[in-house]
Amino acid sequence: MSRRNASPVQGDQLMTATEIAEMFRCSKMTVYRMINSGDLPAVRIGRSFRVYRSVVKQHLRNSAAIPPQRKSE
């Protein structure tokens, strides 16, 4: 996904780099690097970046080191 392809769901909330850093347990600089590299799509509002909550959750699902286990039937 590029920054321009962020596709939020209707009524989605925007998150700041600080909020994302707390969620990811990393530094704000790491979040800004992810945004600047295009790994985390963001929108620019004034001088700051915001990321849709649904995009953050999707990023976490797509970048999981261990894929979620499927239930055996």
For the chain, the helix, strand and coil percentages under 3-state DSSP, each to the nearest 5: 40, 15, 45
Q: What is the pTM of this model?
A: 0.74
d(CA 25, CA 17): 12
Q: CA–CA separation, 6 vs 9, rounded Å?
A: 10
pLDDT, one tens digit per residue, over 11-69 is 789 999 999 999 999 999 999 999 999 999 999 999 999 999 999 999 988 887 776 67
- Tokens standing for residue 69: 């286990």
